[in-house]
Amino acid sequence: MICFGGLPARRARRSIIESDPGNPRFVSPNTLSGSFCASSRTGDDRPVFFHSTVKVTTNPCSSCGLCCRSYLVPVFGHDLYRLVKHRNLDPRSFTFICEQEQPDKVGFRLSGNGPTYGIALDKKDKLEVSQPCTFLIEEPDGSSHCGVYEDRPIACAAYPMAGAARRVVMMPAALCPPGAWAANEGDNPQWGIELRRLARYRDTYVEVVNRWNAWVESVPDVSRPPEHFVAYVLQVYERLAALDIQLGAEAVASIEQAWAWLPEDAPASGSSQDEPNWVAYLRRVREVIDQFFPDLPPLPFARIAIER
């Protein structure tokens, strides 16, 4: 099983902390790198670029469901909050927590010296990569579709595309059937929107996780229950949702459009008057996050991959 981020992952197992129904489901060990974990891949890792003028008029995802049976899907804070808020779901009913084999930026700790964990969508029945996603609705005629499509995680919304050199390309190991997408599908502006949204969600979640980890590490010998992390995330995103409402949908869309992009002639003065709107937004996000655990000083901003 391979993560698209290049990290190896093992078959998921329900093996930790399942006896207490009040706890989220744990799995260990496994890798969640903030990207899909695939059970198979092609031998060609080169990006697939699009040049054809053929147009697609149907949605190949409407009845396929192959990717819903082949990946462990990471859940960021925005994803968790939206599913809980819009679908009135208990996080324990659709997620599990797994220990990371290789810690990354979205890995959270429950004790200062302990391992890092990630959150992923649960599976039906056995917790194996090849099992259907908990939200997959399978019809009697053999077709299937997502039961929370409008609120699906951003990793699902951006699949099977990725950004490369300021272009949208198909993931080299994408599981979509041959001919599912037109050769020029990467030109569809919606994919760029989803990929920039994925970057915003990921970069914001990294800041949220960093704040939590700093608090945990401030008293390293104390172990926190996982439901405390989930509650913290939901509280943070409740306030971030209020910030987005205050700014308005048009302003948030403009921020996403420019996310992590700097012009070649961007000034190096560091003046807040010269900074792009997404940087100003990230500062406001940090103001919200820093309200939690007030005894901790503000942390340095996490590094962000910049486009030019």
Which H, E and C letters describe 19-46, residue by residue?
A: CCCCCCEEEEEECCCCCCEECCCCCCCC
| Max intra-chain CA distance, the chain | 62
CB 19 within 8 A of CB 136: no
276 burial type by CB count under 10 A (0-12 exposed, 13-18 middle, 19+ buried): middle
Reply yes or no on whether the pLDDT at 52 is more than 50.
no
Model confidence at 271: pLDDT above 70: no
- Tokens representing 91 are 């996080």
Give 198-239 pLDDT, tens digit per residue.
999 999 999 999 999 999 999 989 999 999 999 999 999 999
- pLDDT, averaged across the chain: 80
Q: What is the pLDDT of residue 153?
A: 97
Task: Spell out where 152-218 has E strands.
Answer: 161-164, 167-170
How many separate helices (H) and strands (E) can be counted in the chain? 6, 12
In angstroms, how far is the first alpha carbon of the chain from the final one?
Answer: 33
Instruction: Tell which residue, 94, 99, 137, has the closest CA to residue 9.
Output: 99
Amino acid present at 239 = R
Tell the burial category of 139 from Cβ atoms under 10 Å away from its Cβ (0-12, 13-18, 19+).
Answer: exposed
pLDDT score, position 269: 52
Q: pTM value?
A: 0.81
pLDDT at 25 over 60: no
Minimal CA–CA distance to 118: which of 130, 128, 110, 127? 110
- Give pLDDT, residue 82: 97
What are the pLDDT digits (tens) for 54-68? 333 457 777 688 899
Contact 7, 33 (CB under 8 A): yes
With a CB cutoff of 8 Å and minimum separation 6, the contacts of 68 are 132, 133, 135, 136, 144, 146
pLDDT (mean) for 94-121: 94
Q: Encoding tokens for residue 168?
A: 């949208």
CA atoms of 124 and 41, how far apart (whole Å): 23
Q: Are 36 and 76 in contact (CB under 8 A)?
A: no
Is residue 33 a contact partner of residue 104, using CB atoms and an 8 Å limit? yes
* C-beta atoms surrounding 161 within 10 Å: 24
What is the C-alpha to C-alpha distance for residues 94 and 81, in angstroms, rounded to an integer?
A: 12
Q: How far apart are CA 200 and CA 8, in angstroms?
A: 25
Phi and psi at residue 91, to the nearest 5°:
-55, -30
Q: Which residues contact 61 (CB under 8 A, 6 or more apart)?
A: 145, 146
Which has the higher per-residue pLDDT, 287 or 29? 287
